[in-house]
Amino acid sequence: MRIAFLGTPEFAIPSMDMLLQSGHTLCLFTQPDRPVGRHATLTPPPTKSYALEHGIPVLQFEKIRLPEGVAALKSFAPDLMVTAAFGQILSAENLAIPKYGCINVHGSLLPKYRGAAPIQWALINGERETGITTMMTDIGMDTGDILLTDHISIADDVTAGQLFEELSVLGAETLRRTILALEAGTLVRIPQNEAEATRCPMLKKEHGKLDFSEPARSVHNRVRGTNPWPGAYAFLNGETLKIHRTRLIGRQLNSGEPGFLSGGAKMGLFVQCRDYCLEILELQAVGGKRLQAREFLAGCSLEGKVLN
């Protein structure tokens, strides 16, 4: 089939690779190059880099729903559109172009976690299970009919970055089975149950702020759900302290004050939460390197100080 593939980050690459290896004719539609880093270096989306390496034509649009985007899709004349973390809203005019419509690869078990950051919010909210849903895209926000789902369990210490990678591979397999069923004429569409629907907002920097008056598991979930972006943080003496990794240990410190710190270079670093303390495994001071807690404490003492 001729497939217009709409995707932007690394999450989309396994699905695009699967389609290429399956013999489909692809054209990538993606976001424009963006400035990245301290020097604002103009950087292509990961999907663009992959496509150019594999001879897949690339078209980039700020808003594909505008006339030039619609015209480009019509010119390619796809049998099917596939979206995977594209990052733009499609119009009814976009969706009417392909013969078989548009299939979306979504990183949650719909109708839960509709929206832009389903993987991160599943972790922040302490879910024990997530997965991939392929769905028929409509003009709503992840409201289209469900096609296939695949489930995976969530480990206690997995980060959003690690779960992204795992789900991107699973997404390619779910999409493969979905397209085989489409070609065989056996694909079944299941309307979503609106009563079970939940929405998740786009992540912002402030979502990484830790509140140690919450239970230890909630703090731990926020640390891993915001890793690698926007990153978890707290304040120590008015300065930002990034906290990259924590571990649940199920005990309290001598002080029950939320945010109270204890430990040293030999024993590690611990912070009190509402119920139990967490071990802080990796952290980073302003202008400093990301360090293991024991390395960090070799150069300073945090014993008795309070994070807020």
> Which domains does the chain possess?
2-200 (3.40.50.170), 205-297 (3.10.25.10)
Distance CA(175)–CA(164), nearest Å, equals 16
pLDDT at 208: 98
Q: Which amino acid is at 160?
A: A
- Residue 280 sits at φ, ψ, to 5 deg, of -90, 120
Instruction: Kindly report, residue by residue over 133-142, the tens digit of the pLDDT.
Output: 999 999 999 9
Query: Are 217 and 124 spatial neighbours (Cβ–Cβ below 8 Å)?
Result: no
pLDDT at 291: 97
pTM for this one? 0.95
pLDDT surpasses 70 at 254: no
Query: Are 99 and 80 spatial neighbours (Cβ–Cβ below 8 Å)?
Result: yes
Distances (CA, A) of 37 to 72, 217, 246, 271: 31, 32, 26, 31
Distance CA(175)–CA(11), nearest Å, equals 13
Mean pLDDT of 127-152: 97
pLDDT at 37: 84
- Which among 73, 75, 80 has a CA at the least distance from the CA of 103? 80
Longest C-alpha distance within the chain, in Å? 69
pLDDT at 252: 76
Residues whose CB falls within 8 Å of the CB of residue 284, separated by 6 or more in sequence, listed in order? 241, 242, 244, 290, 291
> At 299, is the pLDDT very low, low, confident or very high (cuts 50, 70, 90)?
confident
